Amino acid sequence: MSRSFLSTPIEYLKGVGPQKADLLKLELKVFTYQDLIELFPFRYIDKSVVQPIKQLNFTSQNVQLRGQLTSIQVLGEGRSKRLKAILTDASGSIELVWFNHFQWLHKVIKPDAFYTVYGRVNSFNGSLSINHPEIKLYEAIDEVKGLKFEPVYPLTEKLKARFMDSKWLSQLIAQIMTHPEFHYPEYIPISVLKPLKYPSRQQAIQCMHFPKNEGEVEWAKKRIKFEEMFALAMRTEKMKAIRMMTQKGYSLPKTGELIHGFYHKHLDFELTNAQKRVIKEIRSDLVKPFPMNRLLQGDVGSGKTIVALFCMLMCVDNGMQACLMAPTEILATQHYISISDQLSDLPIRVELLTGSTSKSKRIALLNDLKSGAIQVLIGTHALIEEDVHFKQLALAIIDEQHRFGVAQRAGLWKKYPVQPHVLVMTATPIPRTLAMTIHGELDVSVIDELPKDRKPIQTLHKQEKNRSQVMAFLDKEIKKGRQVYIVYPLIEESGKLNLNDLMTGYDIVCNFFPVPKYQISILHGKMKSETKALEMKRFKDGITQILISTTVIEVGVNVPNASVMLIEDANRFGLSQLHQLRGRVGRGAEQSYCILMTKDDLNPNAKRRIDTMCASNNGFDIAQVDLELRGPGDMLGTRQSGLPEFKLLDLTTDDEVIDLAKRAAAYVLGLDPLLQSADNAGLLNYLKVKQKDDFWGQVS
């Protein structure tokens, strides 16, 4: 790329200067010539259609007309002074009006000449008119060379106040692109571009700013979106390739008695087709001699844990060890109880390690782990502490991986000379396009099917005025022998937010459900681990009918007898969190319900979240709406998302482009892993500059 020209500061461009340059930098982040030509229009005005005046009506928006000026006159005095002209074509006439600063126009427009006019149609006293239209002397040559599809750029009020409009920006861009030194070199290999029939990089920029029609715009957009994703895909595909080439892993070829015995003799339900497909995908990774790095997505209740269990059995069948790390003691303990029960008839030792494990038990456990006597270890982040050593750890499963920091996830296996296979699981659905992008270094498996016997959870929106009705419904469900969750967003009252806090909520619930007739438990993150475990056990054993909790029960808690989830101030929760909380019910054979309680005054985004929850039980559909409302950075946590800023690529809709870019990147690296060929020299240089770190310097 010609850095000497395109990196020129914007103030040196004719017509800009220091003051306008400061505004461009502040308002549009335009610092250089390159920044300006990469400022793309957000829409276009189609000036290819000329409407007959007779067809105009009061609802017309911007229109283009062509006709003869049959009258030009200045009317009024002082502030009401205006220039009026009549434009006439074969079908009729319309009034054109300019207020203020029209003296220059009065001098140049000519009566009886033919003009092309563009503007918005208004109605005044029953007559049609156009105020401050664009007007240009019509010449036949314009139909050949004229700009028919006019770009509209993102502008701010400060820019508009200084007459720095779309036409001005377009003129500046034209000045750059017609300069003798302008060159926008290609970096994507021709072997990739040619089959896709995309324009060159320079053609795409030309079509974005100066298109002849809508088709050219779409052609250019596809190329630029592909370019944005291709750069990211090259990095993630290279990271995968490095892992395969440099990291040694355990090959697990044997499918033995444990997995076959469990499947045929101890599994008391039929796996879904989605579960079977995912197990096969994981199995194909585990037989390879380099470590698997796979993301398993599955909606709440889709059966990810049983898939994880089959993976553990594959390890143990091959004489290896496996571990499962969960973000909370509640979830880790639940996994331990569930997996221990399912494997109780098999010769497999399963143990639990958390921060609450006693010192004496911990010492014995760590000795047995190091000797290989323990085949499966389940726990919290305690699994990555320095004194925890496996004999041969072949598989590390991380549940709700987004709740662990990057350093925590890496710490689990960095101390082992042979890297374990890694399976990260999440019940927080991510739209496929976003998963393909943010988790580009991972292979993605999706359980997109729920067990057939599950009844859809009925989700209802209720307001404070309906509280007595809601409490009566809870009472009815409890009398059927069911149990109820009530979730609050805060533990203690906040002066900043108008929320029901958990302790006040407890008093309200006690008024409706007096003790000792009803047993009520409280659960929140500030309680001691043993107290939390006790309260959770009381609820699971059916001793308490109502569990009042914060979002500590959001993930993994499994009480099949619980049939109602009541979420207070539901508008204060995000969509993903609401869906996770709802997933705590609907786990048994009975009909379950989720009730979203809110105040009356909902903003539009909150209303859409509530309406989405009531309309759908599909976590992936809900995640799509979440992505549209919050954007990818906020949805994932901006600091941790790792996403670049895309100018055109839309992660909610551009799955085809994302898939193409990933396959193209794999193709290029397959032929030239170090990008050493002459054809890839431009690509390597571009990636080094674009990604601003030394990643490509290290691998080339």
Give the model's pLDDT for residue 323: 95
The one-letter amino acid at 90: A
Tens of pLDDT, residue by residue over 313-372, are 999 999 999 999 998 888 898 899 889 999 988 999 999 999 888 999 999 999 999 999
Tens of pLDDT, residue by residue over 594-650, are 999 998 888 888 999 999 999 998 887 888 788 777 766 554 444 444 566 788 988
Q: Is 288 helix (H, G, I), strand (E, B) or coil?
A: coil
Question: Helix, strand, coil proportions of the chain in percent (round to 5)?
Answer: 45, 20, 35
Tens of pLDDT, residue by residue over 583-595, are 888 887 789 999 9
Q: What angle do CA 614, 618, 623 make, to 5 degrees?
A: 90
DSSP assignment of 595-664 equals EEEE-S---HHHHHHHHHHHH---HHHHHHHHHHHHHHHHHH-HHHH-PPPPSS--TTT-HHHHHHHHHH
Residue 697 has pLDDT above 70, yes or no: no
From the list 54, 130, 135, 67, the residue with the least C-alpha distance to 99 is 130
pLDDT level of residue 523 (50, 70, 90 thresholds): confident
d(CA 186, CA 202): 7
Would 48-146 and 458-616 be classified into the same CATH topology? no
Residue 441 has pLDDT above 90, yes or no: no
d(CA 149, CA 216): 10
- Cα 509 from chain centre: 37
119-135 average pLDDT score: 84
CA distances 263 to 73, 256, 260, 305, 380, Å, are 91, 11, 5, 14, 28
What is the pTM assigned to this prediction? 0.68
Residue 102 has pLDDT above 90, yes or no: no
For the domain bounded by 1-41+150-183, which CATH number is listed? Answer: 1.10.150
Residue 698 has pLDDT above 70, yes or no: no
pLDDT level of residue 436 (50, 70, 90 thresholds): low
pLDDT level of residue 2 (50, 70, 90 thresholds): very low
Give the model's pLDDT for residue 437: 66
Q: Which helix (H) or strand (E) holds 142?
A: helix 142-145
Share of the chain above pLDDT 90, in %: 37
Give the model's pLDDT for residue 555: 61
Tens of pLDDT, residue by residue over 549-576, are 888 776 656 788 999 999 999 998 888 8
Tokens 């399976």 locate to 423
For the chain, give the mean pLDDT. 85
Give the model's pLDDT for residue 401: 59
pLDDT level of residue 469 (50, 70, 90 thresholds): very high
Q: For every residue of 489-521, which 3-state class applies, written as one string? A: CECCCCCCCCCCEHHHHHHHHHHHCCCCCCCEE
d(CA 381, CA 408): 7
- Cα 117 from chain centre: 43
CATH 3.40.50.300 fits 48-146, yes or no: no
Give the model's pLDDT for residue 293: 86
Least confident interval from 6-10, 147-151, 186-190, 369-373: 147-151
Give the model's pLDDT for residue 406: 45
Tens of pLDDT, residue by residue over 406-430, are 444 555 667 788 889 999 888 776 7
CATH 3.30.450.20 fits 303-426, yes or no: no
6-16 average pLDDT score: 93
For the domain bounded by 458-616, which CATH number is listed? Answer: 3.40.50.300
Give the model's pLDDT for residue 641: 45
175 Cβ contact list (under 8 Å, min separation 6): 13, 14, 15
Residue 252 has pLDDT above 90, yes or no: yes
Q: Residue 14 corresponds to which tokens in the numbers above?
A: 């004719």
392-400 average pLDDT score: 90
Least confident interval from 102-111, 139-148, 243-252: 139-148
509-529 average pLDDT score: 84
The one-letter amino acid at 282: I
Domain boundaries of the chain, sorted by first residue = 1-41+150-183, 48-146, 303-426, 458-616
Tens of pLDDT, residue by residue over 287-313, are 998 888 888 988 877 888 999 999 999
Give the model's pLDDT for residue 639: 40
The one-letter amino acid at 286: L
